[in-house]
Structure 1
């Protein structure tokens, strides 16, 4: 399938921002099964300088230096992305989770360093003993790693309630676990905390999800949203995407923007300001299938 994605972020500041510096992750990532046909990023006011580069994790990031005084900032990202179905995965035909160490160490020079890095807890995915115990229930001795990971993801899906009002970007994973509610970012961090407590390589993925309106109702413009899920590594399949918010294996309706250790590595926009004071932000996302288009 081919998707058109429009992602608009609009900041309004109480007082004038004299200067701002921003780091932006809004460029979909070119990767197996995903081709970026077009991408553009419009910024208003126009930055004095704009640098595009590849970050530590292989994501496209843009550095913006805005020197024009402003009380509003608008970023409009437009992308056309072609997605193909990933190959089928037999979750039961993967290495046992507690036998991964030999696979990772026997030929270390052939393994990407980032596989080992994604076994380690990050600032936002540090587990407690309670979270580690909760995850361990899915990983009995010698259970195939992806089978256990999918069982863990399904337990999060069934045990936790999606509630967009329960948390914000600063809510710690311990509070999410205690409340049993949150949003996609929270569920991804919880899954990563549990998996990394067991030293299972897993990473945070940010992007978009093509959603479907209720039967008989039109799709609302701007009603989509940025999405987050995880991917788990096995020697047989490499990285396989799992979505704790929806309890599914990632297929061709998830569009990847970036991946890293947690949200901090891939937030759509972050930065520092001179001035501005309090601010309000509105975000709208549209993900639509290109009519009549077919993948090559």
Structure 2
């Protein structure tokens, strides 16, 4: 049961003082039986005139900051110490009626799962449907967990991981066509494929770390994205197609949502003269307290010249 320290710093720089609008920050990990926060601190420079916390419609912790005055730099520093309880694929228990696919969710669960089953992307040629159906056996009962694990492993094995620093995601059809993408692209593809088969699936934003020196993880040094799928008997189970992980080993949940745009780690606005934006730097370090090894961290700078005097800046799922 490892103890982790997560340091997440986002820094916006400007060539001359600008004013800041309201900012929403989602960097505080969700507390649960497998994630226990010991300490959480959020420092913002310049200091906001108001900082309040709320739970959004999905139960994610959101900080809302309001500012007064102007500055040439805006910085958010989050430091969290927590206890994590990894669950491996072998720990996933599924009710007898749902162990073989297809199955129908219980009537008492269905009303609350429907929005997570609905498709979010248009697929007129049923490209995603056909790809998803390829994991279903035509000749024998299809093991539910085995099928989803196979889908997870296939994306990890057959697709090329390609970092992209612009915000937003590819459509699932684009990802299938290109056979490459970022962690958020893979998460959206698997989420839509699972929904095509009738599963309830949600998008997850958080952090990834290597549980041991021998286990490499893609996506360290930045926020990470994966999928949760509802399986009767175990509830919401993690699937990370970027790393081929089933279960939450090495995965720290921060935000869970129906759509990626509902789980953006940091968003807000600024106003000033065009050309003031001097770029953004994101640094994330995940340190295993019981081990001196730390996940390699990456500092990324993104420079996006604004086209208007009032612009939005967003810290998206970077990889």
> Which TM class, normalised by the smaller chain length?
0.7 to 0.9
- Per the alignment, do residues 63 and 143 of structure 1 end up closer, same or farther by CA in structure 2, a change over 3 Å counting? same
Judge conservation of contact 2:135–2:147 (CA < 8 Å) in 1.
Answer: yes
The 3-state SS of whatever aligns with 2:189 is helix
The two structures, once aligned, show a CA RMSD in angstroms of 2.6
Between Structure 1 and Structure 2, which shows a larger proportion of helix residues?
1
Match of 1:195 in 2: 194
C-alpha distance in 1 between matches for 2:82 and 2:273: 35
> Hey, what does 2:113 align to over in structure 1?
115
1:187/1:279 Cα in 2 relative to 1: closer, same or farther (>3 Å)? farther
1:172 is the counterpart of 2:175: no
How far does residue 187 in structure 1 lie from its aligned partner after superposition?
0.6
For normalisation by structure 2, the TM-score amounts to 0.79
Indicate conservation of the 8 Å contact 2:101/2:142, yes or no.
yes
Mark the runs of 5 or more structure 2 residues left unpaired by the alignment.
215-219, 293-319
CA deviations on 1:142-179 (whole Å, 9 max, x unpaired) are 523322211111111122111114x7322422322221
Q: 1:248/1:16 Cα in 2 relative to 1: closer, same or farther (>3 Å)?
A: same
- For the 8 Å contact 2:30–2:61, the answer to whether it is kept is yes
Give the secondary-structure state (helix, strand or coil) at the position aligned to 1:147.
helix
Q: CA deviation at 1:76?
A: 0.5
Q: 1:245 to 1:91 in 2, by over 3 A?
A: farther
For this pair of structures, how many residues does the alignment match? 277
Deviation at 1:90, TM superposition (A): 5.3
User: For the Cα contact (< 8 Å) 1:22–1:65, is it kept in 2?
Assistant: yes
Name the structure 2 match of 1:148: 147
**For residue 106 of structure 2, what is the aligned residue in structure 1?**
104
C-alpha distance in structure 2 between counterparts of 1:170 and 1:156, whole Å = 20
Report the Cα offset of residue 135 of structure 1: 1.3
CA contact (8 A) 1:153 1:242 kept: yes
Question: Which of 238, 241, 260 lines up with 2:238 in the alignment?
Answer: 241
SS of the counterpart of 2:22? strand
Match of 2:310?
none
Is the 8 Å Cα contact of residues 6 and 77 (structure 1) preserved in structure 2?
yes
